[in-house]
Amino acid sequence: MSPTLYSRLLSVAPKFSLVFLVLYQLILYPHFLSPLRHIPGPPLGHPVYGQFPTIIKGEAGIIQREWAKKHGSVVRAVGPIGIERLMFTKPDALHKILVSDWVDYPRPGFMRDILGLTAGYGLLTVTGNEHKQMRKFMNPAFSIPSLMAQTDMYYNSIESLIEILQTQIDTEEKPEAGKEFLMYEWTSKVTLDIICATAFGYKTDSLHNPHNELADAYERLLSPNLARFIALMVIPGVPRLLASDWAYRHRHWFSRFQNLAQAAILVDSMHRIKQVSAGILAEKMRDSAVAASDTEAKRDIMSLLVRARKADTEKDKGAYTLSDNAMMEQVLTFLGAGHETTASGLAWTLWLLANDQESQARLRDEVTPLLADNPRPDYRSLKDLQWLDCVVMESLRVLPPVPMTFRRAAKTDYIDGVLVPKGTIFYIPIRVVNTSKDLWGEDAEEFRPSRWLDLPKTYSPSSSHMSFIAGPHACIGKTMAIIEMKAVLASLIAEFEFEPAYAGQVAQPTAAVTMKPKDNMPLRVRRVSRKTA
């Protein structure tokens, strides 16, 4: 070969390699080579984005439910840049992925990066042994005794919310007609104030002060546009880059470009949230001088963790413990994981009750006598309210705040008879399972709280209701979230009646990480005309 030809070939080789790589990834592999190509599923979709545009346009979890109905219990779908996802819906397959073999099925890197950027590199992002140790260290802070000691703290925020709604209704021209409220905004404020009080002993009072720094930063961080942007952040390295100091210093560059303006908002909001979190942690460190046995010691989760760390290291110098930085990441995790999820759960429950007046009236009949006797019911009293339990569990079942999550195969293995290669990404289809007709019967997609009084024979607590998933990564805040939702709902339903804001109103769940109402959920709210049934 002549030297000229050789050097020409060398100069075009990178271009050809790139073209080949693109063709391989987008066409050759998914169409002809993938060992998963014969698994039934929707068509490959857009040449670059696959089924992604269909997924983000629709309601979270619904398209996956259609796929399961059409293609069966194992579905293959292709996402952006030809990356395949598998969806198993049989309980045994999900049990293997989430419970029995969970170490072999960690959260995928892209998900850990996105969660890390928006909710801290804490319990939500670690895996394997590190996760086991961290979870063991944190479990006591979420125990029933700890929750029982915290329940009373919810009511300061709940009472503020009730007073605000009452005052606004009473100042209307016709108070008896009630007033329209964007209920998601209010559930978001009340849950932010509650999580800050119970997790950190920190007073946000976003209910009275909408410009509270933390509330403001979260509002911007969780805006629907940003949620869509986050869903696109699957490009390796991008979340880490956005989490860096460099990105904060140069955030104004991003705002100059239309498509990157959301990145500037995200970087700025996260920086502000981190600053507040650092302040919260510094205060806890100062408080840790208080002896662990001090009965007056603070009962919030962070104080419990800081004191447990101190006690463990005093007892055993080599004991597992969290560094200051890891503690700081947990602050972000509790804020990120515990606020918007519970706010959405509450807003959806109000929506479902507004559309089912019979269930709402029955709930009012149940809670009113209890609240008349004791306006601040404790953990046990709330837990004993049977219809309240049915309503909350049913709402979390049909409209789960986290409709979907992901896992990745860390080794090649058979699942439900399919040989799944290492590296395969899985959908964990929470909403699909929660509303499966095989598990819940023909009316599985309907809101019918009474089903919890007579559960189907197929019901299993860990595999029929997946809203908090199952196994070692199951939500650590599950009991806290449920009891918090019950306290807020009982208090609101005893005081107010909820109705759709206008005829023909439909639910508008977004397709982001957390399923929240796109329209902030307008509802008409009236003061109750009678207190007891």
Judge contact between 85 and 403, C-beta under 8 A.
no
For position 388 contacting ligand HEM by CB under 6 A, the verdict is: no
* Six-digit token string for 445: 């997609």
Question: Could you tell me the smallest distance in angstroms from the CB atom of residue 318 to ligand HEM?
Answer: 24
For position 280 contacting ligand HEM by CB under 6 A, the verdict is: no
CB atoms inside a 10 Å sphere around CB 313: 13
Judge contact between 319 and 298, C-beta under 8 A.
no
Burial of 51: CB neighbours in 10 Å, binned 0-12, 13-18, 19+? buried
Q: Quick one: which segment of 84-92, 247-255, 330-338, 443-451 binds ligand HEM (CB under 6 A)?
A: 330-338
Q: Which is nearer to ligand HEM, 107 or 524 (CB)?
A: 107
Q: Taking CA 408 as the corner, what is the angle to CA 482 and CA 118, rounded to the nearest 5 degrees?
A: 55
For position 334 contacting ligand HEM by CB under 6 A, the verdict is: yes
For position 202 contacting ligand HEM by CB under 6 A, the verdict is: no
Segment 361-367 long-range contacts (CB within 8 Å, at least 24 positions apart): 361/533, 362/387, 363/387, 363/388, 363/391, 363/489, 363/493, 364/493, 364/494, 364/497, 364/528, 364/533, 365/532, 365/533, 367/490, 367/493, 367/494
Q: Is 475 annotated as a binding residue?
A: yes
Q: Which is nearer to ligand HEM, 89 or 405 (CB)?
A: 405
Share of the chain residues as helix, strand and coil, in percent rounded to the nearest 5: 60, 10, 35
Judge contact between 532 and 372, C-beta under 8 A.
yes
Burial of 502: CB neighbours in 10 Å, binned 0-12, 13-18, 19+? exposed
- The correct pick among 82, 345, 449, 517 for binding ligand HEM (CB under 6 A) is 345
Burial of 419: CB neighbours in 10 Å, binned 0-12, 13-18, 19+? exposed
For position 341 contacting ligand HEM by CB under 6 A, the verdict is: yes
Q: Which is nearer to ligand HEM, 473 or 524 (CB)?
A: 473
- The correct pick among 63, 243, 388, 469 for binding ligand HEM (CB under 6 A) is 469
Q: Which is nearer to ligand HEM, 64 or 341 (CB)?
A: 341
Q: Quick one: which segment of 37-45, 174-182, 290-298, 463-471 binds ligand HEM (CB under 6 A)?
A: 463-471
* Six-digit token string for 64: 């996956």
Q: Which is nearer to ligand HEM, 307 or 516 (CB)?
A: 516
Judge contact between 376 and 152, C-beta under 8 A.
yes
- The correct pick among 342, 395, 436, 491 for binding ligand HEM (CB under 6 A) is 342
Q: Which is nearer to ligand HEM, 79 or 375 (CB)?
A: 79
| Gap between the Cα atoms of 154 and 32, Å rounded | 57
Judge contact between 87 and 425, C-beta under 8 A.
no
For position 371 contacting ligand HEM by CB under 6 A, the verdict is: no
Question: Could you tell me the smallest distance in angstroms from the CB atom of residue 476 to ligand HEM?
Answer: 5
- The correct pick among 36, 60, 78, 199 for binding ligand HEM (CB under 6 A) is 199
Q: Which is nearer to ligand HEM, 233 or 475 (CB)?
A: 475
Question: Could you tell me the smallest distance in angstroms from the CB atom of residue 337 to ligand HEM?
Answer: 4
- The correct pick among 303, 333, 359, 510 for binding ligand HEM (CB under 6 A) is 333
Angle of the 301-315 helix axis to the 261-287 helix axis, nearest 10:
60
- The correct pick among 360, 467, 491, 510 for binding ligand HEM (CB under 6 A) is 467
- The correct pick among 401, 429, 509, 517 for binding ligand HEM (CB under 6 A) is 401
Point out the annotated binding site: 475
Q: Which residues bind ligand HEM (CB under 6 A)?
A: 107, 123-124, 135, 199, 333-334, 337-338, 341-342, 345, 401-402, 405, 467-469, 473, 475-477, 480-481
Point out the annotated binding site for heme: 475
